[in-house]
Amino acid sequence: MSALEKLNSRLADVNALGAAVAMMEWDQQTYMPRGGAEARAQHTGILSRMAHELFTADDTRDMLEKAKGEASSEDDIAMIRVTERDLDIRTKIPASLVEEKMRLGALGHERWVEARAENSFKTFAPTLERLFDICRQEAECLGYTDHIYDALTDQYEEGATKKSWDAMFGSIREPIVDLVRRIKESPVHPDDSFLTGKWDSALQSQFTEHISKAVGFDFNRGRQDVAPHPFCTGWSIGDVRLTTRYKDYLGSAIFGTLHESGHGMYEQGSPMQWDLTPLAGGVSLGVHESQSRTWENIVGRSRSFWSKYLPELKSTFSALPDVPLDQFYRAINKVQPSFIRVEADEVTYNLHIMVRFEVECAILTGELKVNDLPEFWNAKYKDYLGVTPATDSVGCLQDVHWSQGSVGYFPTYSMGNILSYQIWECLERDLGDTSALIAAGNFKPILDWLIEKVYSQGRKYTPAQLMTRVTGRPLDAQPYIKGITRKYEDIYELSPAAV
């Protein structure tokens, strides 16, 4: 066996262990009976440790170094680059810290659930303090030049730094705050109350699968199940799993499914010859999110989309009133500054993220004490969104991320929003106005374009390289600002802002 073959074989073993963990986690959210929880924790713990040990074993590094001399194809060179990056990240953090973080993450999650249920930030604060401590240690192990945040956020978004996020948020903060202000003053008040009711689960399942299939998620190579929080996972290009949820608000299932279908089509779009290798899948969280947002918002919350699907929606859910397309379109795009990120509309969403980004930076550097978080949080919400959370449960305790020690992750959501419009602009430059395609339910040209430009590239390029290849430039908020400004000026009948 050549060194390259040995490396590939090692990586296939690591991949199999990762697939097992992914499937166990999927099952835990979808089908696992309550009694399975304890054993599940032991199994995923052991398999994760085995994957970590096998991947970071000295001989993996040896194989990698030797394989470098053999790699000649573009793909092999890219595979080695990606593997080296992953290996660097994984080996810099000592096993003891990994284990402590995992343990504290499990505990933290439990504490967070309690604290949120009891609206008691105090219960969670000491654990949160320790979780941020561990993140600080992690960052020191990973290393950084400018800011401690850089080390953490690079794990989720290769090449991103505090500075680059500052620049990104800087370019959207004012226009969004301004747009929100103008919307608030608009005489238009969309009514979306007709979307809330007791909707049959089987019909929600049927309709969401129908539109997921329609946009191009391949159910021969994937499926959709139900989970408390929608997510997308998978363990092969041929086996990608979506989840959705059925709530009183009909939009939960519909937009949840379209969002996860975007993630899913990205995963399904990798070239089959990369299956089960490090080159398959999404290049970064931000780019991944750009695709979920594309299908959820740019496609799924467009007037054209519902000109096609509203009649079908109405015939599926007979209790739905016979609202005109325009009213429906406004309802699903209602802007309303609120406390809860996951329920936020397309306009205010990034404001929620900004608060979290600022909190993370301030706690990491010590400018903000964990105990002062609620006050800081509420002040920021007042400032950006003009609202004050009634309780910490719907305030600084609402998100799961920190309870699991994920710090540096949130900005990728905003990057996704921004990048979705930046890529879409290029897509429309190539395909022309897409509204006719969407209105005809003809998503194939759109999906094909995205597969060619983005999905089929897997992890071959860095996120920055990919963005430049696809859009000709680095992250640029202008298409996003222009896009949402136009869209919501129309919906809220605002006089066009000077651009």
The reply on whether position 218 binds its own copies by CB under 8 A is yes
DSSP, res 158? T
From CA 293, how far away is CA 344, in angstroms rounded?
Answer: 13
Are 466 and 287 in contact by the 8 Å Cβ rule? The answer is yes
Q: Which among 100, 457, 81 is positioned nearest to 281, based on CA atoms?
A: 457
Cα 387 to chain centroid, rounded: 25
Instruction: Report d(CA 257, CA 292) in Å as an integer.
Output: 10
CA dist., res. 149 & res. 361, Å (int): 6
Q: How far is the CB of 69 from its own copies (least distance, A)?
A: 26
Q: Which CB atom, from 230 or from 395, has the smaller least distance to its own copies?
A: 230
- Contact between 324 and its own copies per CB under 8 A: no
Instruction: Give yes or no for residue 76 binding its own copies (CB under 8 A).
Output: no
Residue 260-299 contact track with its own copies, rule CB under 8 A, x = bound: ---------------xx-----------------------
Using the Cα atoms of residue 210, residue 215, residue 217 and residue 220 in order, give the sign of their dihedral: positive
Q: Please identify which residue in 32, 97, 107, 320 interacts with its own copies, judged by CB under 8 A.
A: 32
Nearer to its own copies, 28 or 316 (CB): 28
Q: Which is nearer to its own copies, 49 or 314 (CB)?
A: 49
Question: Segment near its own copies (CB under 8 A), from 45-53, 428-436, 465-473, 480-488?
Answer: 45-53
- Is 226 a binder of its own copies (CB under 8 A)? no
Q: In whole angstroms, how close is the CB of 91 to its own copies at the nearest point?
A: 21
Q: Token pair of 29, please?
A: 């959210």
Phi-psi region at 441: left, alpha or beta (left = phi > 0; alpha = psi -120 to 50) = left
Q: How near is the Cβ of 267 to its own copies at its closest, in Å?
A: 12
CA–chain centroid gap for 211, Å, is 20
Beta carbon of residue 31, minimum distance to its own copies (angstroms, whole number): 6
Interaction residues for its own copies, span 426-445 (CB under 8 A): none
Does residue 121 contact residue 114 with C-beta atoms inside 8 Å?
no
Which one among 235, 309, 349, 381 touches its own copies, defined by CB under 8 A? 235
* Residue 362 CB contacts under 8 Å (≥ 6 apart), including other chains: 368, 376
Name the one range near its own copies by CB under 8 A: 26-34, 120-128, 375-383, 442-450: 26-34
Nearest Cα neighbor of 299 from 158, 442, 141 is 442
CB count within 10 Å of CB 227 equals 20
Under a CB-based contact definition with an 8 Å cutoff, are residues 243 and 224 in contact?
yes
Residue 360 is a catalytic residue: no
Output the smallest distance, CB 260 to its own copies, in A. Answer: 15
Q: For residue 17, state whether it binds its own copies (rule: CB under 8 A).
A: yes
- Give the nearer residue to its own copies in terms of CB position, either 21 or 370: 21
If binding is defined by CB under 8 A, does position 223 make contact with its own copies?
A: yes
Site size toward its own copies, by CB under 8 A: 39
Selecting among 138, 158, 260, 289, the annotated active-site residue is 260
> Is 247 in contact with 263 (CB distance < 8 Å)?
no
Catalytic residues: 260
- What residues line the site for its own copies (CB under 8 A)? 12-13, 15-17, 19-20, 23-24, 27, 31-40, 42-43, 46-47, 50, 218-223, 225, 235-239, 275-276
